[in-house]
């Protein structure tokens, strides 16, 4: 730390309790009271250096034998006046970055100008500040930290502004160009060219590169008002917004204990611990700080991690900050909701009502912000999936597809909450656009969990809930599960079975087309190549495997066709109509809205089928329908449409 020694006399001051005495051999003739501390001094050394003390001593001498001067507003208090008094007596005084600001302010307050002696304290302090402190990052930082104790006088002398300008200029400069931050932060000495020095001799070794966030920890020790001014100046100097946002996030983690409960991945634990806080700030101070942090963060996507924003929002709800601050944080999260994780969304409900375990309303608002932003950026457009289950579409579809998956996972997590009302669950599920879900498997899982956790739902509510998903967008595995799910309404199961058979038929048609192309290509090439049959060994094996797969699919389709045939007969019996099988099933297809021929349910000749699994599904369907008949008395209507969705 840089310092300058002033004066040459030995230290002749001694402290006794709350009093200082100057042991020069002469009795003191003036008492200066600064706060609770009294200084027993001599008039001449003081009045020869300070214009204020000269006037006060003259005034006090007129009324009392032993003069007394009282100070209540001297910058720096008794500690600083002790140094001023020693300077007046010519005692050695070390100017440092930690005391120069208070000494300068006190000297200005006492009018210690050149008029009262050459090389007076004002000129000494100002010279040291300009030539030493402002040239060093570390000294400028220490001087700025001491400004809080004498803020009004430091502002008047423009000390705060000059320190901030110096720090902002250094932070906006690439440290690797000069190496001065490494020099002052405990690293090896460096030459002006940046090479490491040993005993003043260049070794040619280069120092390690310094990251652009090297100053985060230093500025985090500043008080909030000064930190805000420093950030504003840095931003005006063109420092990148992501670096500014990183510093603000670091500052928030230093003084908001709630943010440190969940560590951000990739950060070490030492960076999250408060620095010399002693005791954590009060709730009111944390509340004010959080609102200011929200104002300091740039309103731009991706500048800070979404997990950090969720931490701010969670803390804001606990502290019950201004509603506008909570709304702003929700909007920030909504801008980058596609970068969130499921655990981030699981925010407990801190409201007094405690209607639900998790704050579903907050997630709904965040999703609304994301969808509004997605529409503004033009990200909304239809999408589809290919045969391998991969998303087909422009890259702009990826964020909303990720959000849809995230919301489906969130719905599955909150579905077991028995206090979660059906309208709230439906509203959140329906808010995701239909095109954002290539498959509805995740939504089906959430609906199934909700039905399992809410068994008291009536049949109409179950059907209304199941209409949220599209049976055509269920995978074969989901269709197989749904066909055997007793919690689903009957008409949903009928739709699932139909679309499962339709998917299999489409897949087999594609396999047949591929097989025909392979056979024609093999015959053509074999006629051209002639005796070169060895190259076709792998193709023949692949064709055999393909045929085996097609045979298995034929068996599955045949099995489903028999199921449909049996179901058709059961529906005709339950409906009580004497129409032919073809017309009855046609009525069902028409009611469902399926544009298919009745031949889809006819079994192919020569196909092998296992009826056990199909019969079990039909028996379960029959039993459920009989129970439904008894409870709702649908026998009066006598139409098939009573169990088929309109």
pLDDT at 526 over 50: no
What pLDDT, on a 0 to 100 scale, did the predictor assign at position 156? 94
| Phi/psi at 456 (5° precision) | -85, 0
Q: Residue 453 corresponds to which tokens in the numbers above? A: 């956790």
Most confident by average pLDDT, 319-328, 490-499, 521-530: 319-328
What pLDDT, on a 0 to 100 scale, did the predictor assign at position 43? 87
3-state class (DSSP) for residue 95? strand
Q: Residue 82 corresponds to which tokens in the numbers above? A: 């002790």
Cβ atoms of residues 564 and 500 within 8 Å: no
What pLDDT, on a 0 to 100 scale, did the predictor assign at position 483? 83
CA 240 to chain centre: 19
pLDDT at 274 over 50: no
Element spanning 38, H or E: strand 37-41
Taking residues 110-133, what's their average pLDDT?
A: 93
DSSP one-letter code for 470: -
Element spanning 559, H or E: helix 537-575
3: left (phi over 0), alpha (psi -120 to 50) or beta: beta
Cβ atoms of residues 512 and 606 within 8 Å: no
pLDDT digits (tens, 9 = 90+) for 185-205: 444 445 444 454 454 555 555
Look at 194 and 118; give whichever has higher pLDDT. 118
What pLDDT, on a 0 to 100 scale, did the predictor assign at position 315? 94
The pairing of beta strand 37-41 with beta strand 19-22: parallel
Strands laid side by side in the 30-34 sheet? 13-16, 19-22, 37-41, 30-34, 67-71
The pairing of beta strand 67-71 with beta strand 30-34: parallel
Burial of 346 (0-12, 13-18, 19+ CB in 10 A): middle
Which of 219, 228, 214 is closest to 275 using CA atoms?
219
User: What mean pLDDT, rounded, does the chain reach?
Assistant: 75
CA 248 to chain centre: 13
Look at 24 and 11; give whichever has higher pLDDT. 24
pLDDT digits (tens, 9 = 90+) for 213-226: 889 999 999 999 99
pTM greater than the 0.85 cutoff: no
pLDDT digits (tens, 9 = 90+) for 533-547: 444 455 556 556 656
pLDDT band at residue 479 under the 50/70/90 scheme: confident
Residues 6+ apart with CB under 8 A from 30: 40, 41, 42, 43, 46, 57, 60, 66, 67, 68, 69
pLDDT band at residue 433 under the 50/70/90 scheme: very high
Q: Which residues pair with 392 in a beta bridge?
A: 384
Which of 219, 95, 76, 85 is closest to 146 using CA atoms?
76
pLDDT at 6 over 50: no
Distances in Å between the alpha carbon of 405 and those of 342, 445, 478, 604?
A: 10, 12, 16, 40
Helices (H) then strands (E): counts for the chain: 28, 11
Taking residues 126-140, what's their average pLDDT?
A: 95
What pLDDT, on a 0 to 100 scale, did the predictor assign at position 270? 32
DSSP one-letter code for 406: H
> Domains of the chain: which residue ranges?
3-177, 396-512
Cβ atoms of residues 432 and 364 within 8 Å: no
SS3 per residue for 97-157: CCCHHHHHHHHHHHCCCHHHCCCCHHHHHHHHHHHHHCCCHHHHHHHHHHHHHHHHHHHHC
What pLDDT, on a 0 to 100 scale, did the predictor assign at position 335? 93
Neighbours of 159 (CB within 10 A): 25
pLDDT digits (tens, 9 = 90+) for 552-594: 767 776 777 777 777 777 777 775 544 444 444 444 444 444 4
Cβ atoms of residues 142 and 97 within 8 Å: yes
Which of 356, 353, 313 is closest to 336 using CA atoms?
313
What pLDDT, on a 0 to 100 scale, did the predictor assign at position 70? 85
Which of 38, 125, 28, 21 is closest to 78 using CA atoms?
38
How far apart CA 540 and CA 537 sit, in angstroms, is 5
Which residue reads 């001491």 in tokens?
146
Residues 6+ apart with CB under 8 A from 253: 259, 260, 271, 272
CA 219 to chain centre: 22
3-state class (DSSP) for residue 620? helix
What pLDDT, on a 0 to 100 scale, did the predictor assign at position 559? 75
pLDDT digits (tens, 9 = 90+) for 604-627: 333 333 334 444 444 544 455 444
pLDDT at 12 over 50: yes
Cβ atoms of residues 592 and 641 within 8 Å: no
Neighbours of 263 (CB within 10 A): 14
Which CATH number is 3-177's, of 3.30.710.10, 3.40.50.280, 2.60.120.10, 3.40.50.1950?
3.30.710.10
pLDDT at 209 over 70: no
DSSP one-letter code for 604: P
The pairing of beta strand 391-392 with beta strand 13-16: unpaired
Distances in Å between the alpha carbon of 362 and those of 313, 349, 368?
A: 10, 9, 10
Neighbours of 296 (CB within 10 A): 19
Cβ atoms of residues 182 and 174 within 8 Å: no
């Amino acid at each position: 730390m840089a310092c300058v020694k002033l004066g040459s006399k030995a230290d002749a001051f001694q402290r006794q309790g709350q009093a200082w005495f100057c042991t020069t051999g002469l009795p003191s003739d003036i008492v200066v009271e600064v706060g609770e501390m009294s200084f027993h001094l001599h008039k001449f050394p003081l009045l020869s250096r300070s214009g204020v003390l000269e006037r006060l001593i003259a005034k006090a001498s007129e009324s009392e034998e032993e003069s007394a001067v009282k100070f209540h507003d001297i910058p720096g208090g008794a500690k600083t006046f002790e140094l001023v008094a020693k300077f007046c007596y010519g005692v050695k005084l070390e100017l440092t970055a930690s005391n120069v600001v208070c000494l300068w302010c006190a000297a200005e307050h006492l009018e210690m100008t050149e008029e009262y002696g050459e090389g007076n304290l004002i000129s000494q302090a100002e010279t040291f500040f300009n030539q030493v402190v402002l040239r060093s990052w570390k000294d400028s930082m220490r001087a700025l930290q001491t400004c809080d104790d004498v803020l009004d006088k430091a502002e008047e002398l423009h000390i705060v502004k000059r320190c901030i300008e110096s720090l902002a200029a250094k932070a906006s400069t690439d440290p690797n160009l000069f190496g001065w931050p490494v020099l002052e932060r405990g690293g090896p000495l460096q030459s002006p060219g940046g090479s490491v020095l040993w005993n003043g001799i260049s070794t040619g070794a280069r120092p390690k590169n310094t990251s652009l966030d090297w100053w985060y920890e230093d500025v985090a020790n500043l008080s909030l008002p000064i930190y805000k001014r420093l950030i504003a100046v840095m931003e005006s100097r063109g420092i990148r917004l992501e670096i500014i946002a990183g510093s603000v996030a670091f500052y928030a983690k230093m003084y908001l204990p709630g943010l440190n409960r969940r560590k951000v991945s990739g950060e070490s634990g030492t960076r999250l611990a408060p620095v010399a806080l002693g005791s954590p700030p009060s709730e009111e101070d944390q509340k004010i700080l959080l609102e200011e942090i929200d104002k300091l963060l740039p309103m731009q996507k991706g500048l800070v991690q979404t997990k950090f924003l969720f931490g701010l929002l969670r803390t804001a709800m606990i502290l019950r900050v201004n509603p506008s601050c909570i709304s702003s944080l929700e909007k920030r999260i909504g801008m980058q909701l596609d970068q969130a994780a499921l655990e981030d969304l699981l925010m407990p409900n801190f409201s007094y009502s405690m209607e639900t375990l998790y704050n579903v309303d907050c997630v709904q608002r965040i999703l609304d912000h994301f969808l509004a932003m997605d529409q503004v950026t033009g990200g909304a457009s239809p999408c589809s999936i290919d045969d391998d289950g991969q998303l087909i579409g422009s890259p702009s579809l990826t964020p909303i597809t990720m959000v849809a998956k995230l919301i489906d996972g969130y719905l599955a997590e909150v579905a077991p909450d028995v206090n979660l009302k059906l309208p709230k669950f439906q509203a959140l599920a329906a808010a995701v656009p239909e095109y954002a879900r290539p498959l509805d498997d995740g939504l089906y899982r959430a609906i199934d969990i909700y039905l399992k956790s809410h068994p008291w739902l009536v049949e109409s509510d179950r059907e209304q809930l199941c209409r949220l998903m599209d049976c055509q967008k269920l995978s074969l595995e989901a269709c197989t599960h749904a066909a055997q799910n007793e919690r689903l309404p009957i008409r949903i199961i009928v739709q699932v079975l139909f679309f499962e058979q339709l998917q299999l038929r489409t897949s087999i048609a594609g396999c047949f087309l591929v097989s025909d192309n392979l056979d024609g290509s093999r015959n053509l090439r074999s006629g051209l190549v002639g005796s070169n049959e060895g190259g076709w060994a792998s193709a023949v094996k692949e064709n055999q495997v393909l045929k085996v797969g097609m045979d298995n699919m034929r068996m599955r389709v045949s099995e489903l066709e028999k199921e449909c045939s049996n179901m058709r007969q059961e529906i005709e019996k339950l409906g009580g109509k004497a129409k032919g099988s073809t017309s009855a099933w046609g009525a069902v297809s028409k009611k469902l809205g399926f544009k298919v021929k009745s031949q889809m349910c006819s079994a192919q000749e020569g196909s092998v089928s296992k009826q056990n699994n199909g019969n079990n599904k039909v028996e379960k369907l029959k039993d459920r329908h009989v129970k439904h008949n008894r409870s709702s008395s649908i026998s009066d209507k006598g139409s098939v449409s009573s169990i088929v969705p309109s």
